[in-house]
């Protein structure tokens, strides 16, 4: 994922979470908000409560690969914050992919 497609600024994270639309599933919480750009931006958050750094980075890589698949088909001009929940730990990659894409649409 290119750097311009990433939400990194803490102020942006807080703004999207406070003022955006929230959708929840068993594995993810997705906050979204319209932006003034011609592309989507994504921020990924995995809590320290779920596991150590190796575990969190593994799931971030999985989520990034799902986003790469998704962004080829859809451009909504939104900012997304994707938060991983405990329910995602016992699911396969295909189940996670289906669930996240349904939330992003």
Q: The CATH number of the domain where 11 resides is what? A: 3.30.230.10
Q: What is the pLDDT of residue 5?
A: 85
pLDDT tens figures, 1-44: 777 788 988 999 999 999 999 999 999 999 999 999 888 899 99
Count of the separate structural domains present in the chain:
1
Q: What is the pLDDT of residue 69?
A: 84
Q: What are the DSSP E strand ranges found in the chain? A: 21-24, 28-34, 41-45, 78-84
Residue 21: which domain range? 3-104
What pTM value is reported for the model? 0.90
Residue 22's CB is within 10 A of a number of other CB atoms, namely: 12
């Amino acid at each position: 994922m290119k750097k311009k497609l990433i939400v990194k600024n803490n102020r942006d994270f807080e703004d999207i979470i406070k003022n955006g639309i929230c959708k929840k599933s068993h594995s993810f919480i997705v906050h979204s908000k319209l932006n003034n750009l011609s592309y989507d931006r994504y921020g990924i958050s995995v809590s320290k409560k779920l596991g150590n750094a190796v575990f969190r980075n593994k799931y971030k890589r999985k989520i990034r690969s799902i986003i790469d698949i998704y962004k080829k088909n859809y451009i909504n001009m939104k900012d997304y914050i994707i938060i991983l929940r405990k329910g995602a730990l016992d699911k396969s990659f295909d189940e996670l992919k289906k669930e996240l894409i349904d939330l992003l649409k």
